[in-house]
Amino acid sequence: MDSPLTPPLTGQCLCGDIKFRLDGAVHRTAACHCKQCQRWAGHYWPSCSVSEDHLVLTHGSLSLTWYESSDKAERGFCIICGSSLFWRLLNNPGGWVAIALGALDSPTGLSQGEHIYTESAGDYYSIPK
């Protein structure tokens, strides 16, 4: 679901130190229900994906830290406020990076997209239709 982005989407972490811009089309949106996302974000994690080259940090790059959450992927967060911002595969330069939909400034013009890893969903909520 490529969508034209004019003006580009922007977003930031909770404290506002990390600010970013998406300079390319959004490739995909998805809501991940895996247990890692639940522990990381406090709930399931809706994101959109762009080519890593199109994620431009406009402020706060020193506050962005990557946590290697498995042998396959790492997660970017703000060391000041803890916001759960980005997910990407390890050793995959130029690949997709997933961006937290909740970190984007409104209006995004996006919709949440498919639910993935629903077999790991918490027992305290229902998967929205």
Q: Smallest gap, in angstroms, from Cβ of residue 4 to Zn ion? A: 28
Q: Smallest gap, in angstroms, from Cβ of residue 88 to Zn ion? A: 12
CA angle 38–39–42, rounded 5-degree value = 65
* Selected binder of Zn ion within 15, 73, 110, 121 (CB under 5 A): 15
Q: For residue 120, what is the enclosing H or E element?
A: none
**Binding of Zn ion by 13 (CB under 5 A):** yes
Within positions 68 to 127, which residues make up the interface with Zn ion, using CB under 5 A? 78, 80-81
Phi first, then psi, for residue 101 (nearest 5°) are -60, -35
**Binding of Zn ion by 32 (CB under 5 A):** yes
**Binding of Zn ion by 48 (CB under 5 A):** no
List contacts with Zn ion (CB under 5 A).
13, 15, 17, 32, 34, 37, 78, 80-81
